[in-house]
Chains A and B, each alone.
Chain A
Amino acid sequence: MTPRILLQLIVNGIMLGGVYGLMSLGINLVWGVMGVVNLAHGDVIIAAGFVTFWLFTRLGVNPLLALPVSIAMGFTIGLCVQKFLLARVPQDRGAVKTSLLMTFGVSYMLINAVQLTFGNEFQTVMFLPGSWRVGGLDFAKSRTLAFSMAAVISLLLWAFLRFSFTGRAIHAVSQSPEGASVCGIDIGRTRILSFGLGAALAAAAGALLVMIFAISPAMGTGYTVRSFAVTVIGGLGSFPGALLGALVLGMAEVFTGYLASAQIANGIAFLLFLAVLLTRPQGLFGRKTS
């Protein structure tokens, strides 16, 4: 492996990691704030990808302009799921089990709705073919764009959580619901917003993903597990952790694909995920949760 190949692989890994990071921020938010695992996450990613594809191919809409549409769609889905389904689950011992099963059901509904509406084929958005040659390395234009957008959105999210009232309310609820409610924060509404935001982030990731390569409805579950893998590796509840975890996964996939085989690269996310869950469940930066 020459230095140039090594650098090229690193570049590829970072660019992939950027999009994975966006995917996992949504998980981090929802899981951290509400302790709910959304099994439909990957399917929101795919749904947004297909919407972007459709807008691009049928109506000629620039995928970057279509991004807000996907985000709005994701937000609406998340909002509805939380408000009409998860919020109504009786908060007894069976709550965790029931929410898991519910989001599982939603996952199936979403994916089959996508198949019914857009078909079951592999689709992609061929926007900006080719790459930029910088310093002897190839930066694929579509991937660079996706990475940049992912970085911008992550930054906006960070600013939102840090500086806006709602953002800080979300943070407060994740730390202590009782404390937050004592301070006058509407827990129910905050939860709805968080779930919506989480899904919106997933949708953004999907809209960017479809520009990089082809996606199909069947890939939903794979991305759900990948998103959780990144969150688990980086550590639940930690923003920098999520980004680092994404980087780790992106690199792992690229290097495994190069050094071993494509088949193994496909499964490396899940192997890492299991390994971390079993040895250091709080991940790299996470706080220890019960």
Chain B
Amino acid sequence: MMATPRMRALAAAAILLAIAVPFVGSDYLIGLLFTTFLFVGMAYGWNLISGYTAYVSFGQISFFGIGAYAVAILVSKLSWAWPFAVLAGAGAAALIAAPLGWAMLRLRGPYFALGMLGFVQVLYMLASSWSSLTKGGEGIYLPPAGNLRPLYYAAALMVAAAIAVTWAIDRSAFGLRLRSIGEDEIAAEAMGVHTTRSKLAAFVLASTLPAMAGGLYAFRLSYVDPSSAFPASYEVQVILMAIFGGAGTVWGPLLGGVVLSAVAEALWARFAELHLLLFGLFIVVVLRYMPEGFVPLLRRRAAAAAIRKDAR
């Protein structure tokens, strides 16, 4: 990525701002940034599995729900401290993702997509019927999250970790293997890539991010029931953020997440249905006219500009 001094300065400023907000910003701003971080984290999660490989998952919110319920149960029933509960939620998601991925990733393209869609419904059903664990439709109440600031930092840390991991993967052999699976899985296999292992690793890793987001979200909300744990509208927003920003890139999810969170915030309260409709429309438009997303577009323009500069 073009690491010009100007970009570095901007990045540093953004980071400083992010750290400073809880001290100078209003409760509302902190809440808004908190939610943005959660979405960015989830976008990175989707990016890891569906951005690099071609396995389009519509079921990432299943892990979100797992994380949310993990925190709800651990905190309310076993009095765990929330940071540990959130990490435990990520662990639970990974534990579930391993066998699930092993089963699901054997299915190609559309079957995998449908399978994940179906998995969300299964979890929803489980959450509704397993009352002894989840209190069914009534939901679990958590003690009110007094101070938002620690949650904010936890979310920011999650995003930082997501970016770091994606960056590392992107330039590693593992990342190359994932990309090869995305391009042409059969050829990759023929070339000796352990596709199953790589896909599975990406899938399991990808599951931890929505799980952590779900856990933090649950603690903030102080209430978890099946419909808040598996919010269907989040899936579309996360996917849109990743593809708008640029699937399969390091900075795409961040860009997409920040821009679209701002748009969503302006619209969600007053135009609830309209904003989701626009998001749906946006997905279609992006796929039709800029399927690679924004980041590659920016990169190409920067590269073109650089060439023009050299040619002078």
Direct contact of A and B (CB under 8 A): yes
Instruction: List chain A positions with a Cβ less than 8 A from chain B.
Output: 31, 35-37, 39, 85, 88-89, 93-94, 96-98, 100-102, 104-113, 115-116, 120, 218, 221-222, 224-225, 228-229, 232, 261, 263-264, 266-267, 269-271, 273-274, 277-278, 281, 290
CA distance A174 to B102 in the complex (A): 31
Q: Which residues of A contact B240 (CB under 8 A)?
A: 105
User: When the two chains form their complex, are residues A108 and B287 in contact, meaning their CB atoms are under 8 A apart?
Assistant: no
Assuming the contacts A112-B276, A116-B273, A261-B129, asked whether A98 and B103 have C-beta atoms less than 8 A apart, the reply is no
**Is there a chain A Cβ closer than 8 Å to B121's Cβ?**
yes
User: When the two chains form their complex, are residues A225 and B291 in contact, meaning their CB atoms are under 8 A apart?
Assistant: no
CA distance A105 to B291 in the complex (A): 13
User: When the two chains form their complex, are residues B111 and A108 in contact, meaning their CB atoms are under 8 A apart?
Assistant: no
**Is there a chain A Cβ closer than 8 Å to B141's Cβ?**
no
**Is there a chain A Cβ closer than 8 Å to B308's Cβ?**
no
User: When the two chains form their complex, are residues A266 and B128 in contact, meaning their CB atoms are under 8 A apart?
Assistant: yes
User: When the two chains form their complex, are residues B277 and A108 in contact, meaning their CB atoms are under 8 A apart?
Assistant: yes
Of B69-77, B112-120, B198-206, B217-225, the one touching chain A: B112-120
CA distance A97 to B56 in the complex (A): 6
User: When the two chains form their complex, are residues B124 and A281 in contact, meaning their CB atoms are under 8 A apart?
Assistant: no
CA distance A120 to B109 in the complex (A): 33
Shortest Cβ distance from B285 into A: residue: A105
Q: Which of B126, B184, B288 contacts A85 (CB 8 A)?
A: B288
Q: Which of B118, B276, B283, B291 contacts A273 (CB 8 A)?
A: B118
CA distance A35 to B110 in the complex (A): 9
User: When the two chains form their complex, are residues B109 and A106 in contact, meaning their CB atoms are under 8 A apart?
Assistant: no
A-B contact pairs, 16 of them (CB 8 A): A37-B113, A39-B58, A102-B284, A105-B281, A105-B283, A108-B276, A108-B277, A112-B280, A120-B273, A221-B117, A266-B125, A267-B122, A267-B125, A267-B129, A271-B122, A278-B106
User: When the two chains form their complex, are residues B274 and A224 in contact, meaning their CB atoms are under 8 A apart?
Assistant: no
Q: Which of A89, A93, A113 contacts B183 (CB 8 A)?
A: A93
- Report B222-256 CB contacts with A as 1/0, cut-off 8 Å: 00000000001000100110010000000000000
User: When the two chains form their complex, are residues B103 and A278 in contact, meaning their CB atoms are under 8 A apart?
Assistant: yes
User: When the two chains form their complex, are residues A107 and B107 in contact, meaning their CB atoms are under 8 A apart?
Assistant: no
User: When the two chains form their complex, are residues A270 and B128 in contact, meaning their CB atoms are under 8 A apart?
Assistant: no
**Is there a chain A Cβ closer than 8 Å to B279's Cβ?**
yes
Q: Which residues of A contact B115 (CB under 8 A)?
A: 273-274, 277
Q: Which of A100, A112, A221, A264 contacts B109 (CB 8 A)?
A: A100
Instruction: List chain B positions with a Cβ less than 8 A from chain A.
Output: 50, 54, 56, 58, 103, 106-111, 113-115, 117-119, 121-122, 124-126, 128-129, 136, 183-184, 232, 236, 239-240, 243, 273-274, 276-277, 279-284, 287-288, 291
User: When the two chains form their complex, are residues A97 and B122 in contact, meaning their CB atoms are under 8 A apart?
Assistant: no
CA distance A281 to B108 in the complex (A): 11
Give the distance to chain A from B227, nearest Cβ to Cβ, in Å. 9
Give the distance to chain B from A84, nearest Cβ to Cβ, in Å. 9
Q: Which residues of B contact A88 (CB under 8 A)?
A: 288
Give the distance to chain A from B235, nearest Cβ to Cβ, in Å. 9
User: When the two chains form their complex, are residues A270 and B121 in contact, meaning their CB atoms are under 8 A apart?
Assistant: yes
Give the distance to chain B from A6, nearest Cβ to Cβ, in Å. 24
Q: Which of A94, A105, A228 contacts B280 (CB 8 A)?
A: A105
CA distance A202 to B273 in the complex (A): 23
Q: Which of A35, A102, A222, A278 contacts B121 (CB 8 A)?
A: A222
Q: Which of A35, A113, A221, A225 contacts B277 (CB 8 A)?
A: A113
Give the distance to chain B from A5, nearest Cβ to Cβ, in Å. 23
User: When the two chains form their complex, are residues B284 and A264 in contact, meaning their CB atoms are under 8 A apart?
Assistant: no
B50, B124, B281, B284 pick with most chain A CB within 10 angstroms: B284
CA distance A109 to B281 in the complex (A): 6
Give the distance to chain A from B225, nearest Cβ to Cβ, in Å. 13
Q: Which 4 A-B residue pairs are closest in the complex by CB-CB distance? A: A267-B125, A108-B280, A105-B283, A263-B129
Q: Which residues of B contact A39 (CB under 8 A)?
A: 58, 113, 117
List 12 additional contacts besides A85-B288, A102-B288; criterion CB under 8 Å: A37-B110, A93-B184, A97-B50, A98-B287, A102-B287, A104-B283, A105-B284, A109-B277, A112-B276, A228-B114, A263-B128, A271-B122
User: When the two chains form their complex, are residues B125 and A229 in contact, meaning their CB atoms are under 8 A apart?
Assistant: no
CA distance A264 to B114 in the complex (A): 20
User: When the two chains form their complex, are residues B110 and A100 in contact, meaning their CB atoms are under 8 A apart?
Assistant: yes
CA distance A223 to B103 in the complex (A): 24
Q: Which residues of A contact B113 (CB under 8 A)?
A: 37, 39, 100
User: When the two chains form their complex, are residues B283 and A101 in contact, meaning their CB atoms are under 8 A apart?
Assistant: yes
User: When the two chains form their complex, are residues A101 and B239 in contact, meaning their CB atoms are under 8 A apart?
Assistant: yes
Q: Which residues of A contact B280 (CB under 8 A)?
A: 104-110, 112
Q: Which residues of A contact B287 (CB under 8 A)?
A: 89, 98, 101-102, 105
Assuming the contacts A108-B277, A109-B277, A261-B129, asked whether A85 and B54 have C-beta atoms less than 8 A apart, the reply is no
Give the distance to chain A from B99, nearest Cβ to Cβ, in Å. 11
User: When the two chains form their complex, are residues A116 and B122 in contact, meaning their CB atoms are under 8 A apart?
Assistant: no
User: When the two chains form their complex, are residues A37 and B129 in contact, meaning their CB atoms are under 8 A apart?
Assistant: no
Shortest Cβ distance from B127 into A: residue: A263
User: When the two chains form their complex, are residues B136 and A112 in contact, meaning their CB atoms are under 8 A apart?
Assistant: no
CA distance A23 to B273 in the complex (A): 26
Assuming the contacts A98-B287, A108-B283, A270-B118, asked whether A116 and B277 have C-beta atoms less than 8 A apart, the reply is yes
Assuming the contacts A104-B239, A229-B118, asked whether A112 and B125 have C-beta atoms less than 8 A apart, the reply is no
Q: Which residues of B contact A94 (CB under 8 A)?
A: 54, 291
Give the distance to chain A from B28, nearest Cβ to Cβ, in Å. 26
User: When the two chains form their complex, are residues B283 and A37 in contact, meaning their CB atoms are under 8 A apart?
Assistant: no
User: When the two chains form their complex, are residues A221 and B232 in contact, meaning their CB atoms are under 8 A apart?
Assistant: yes
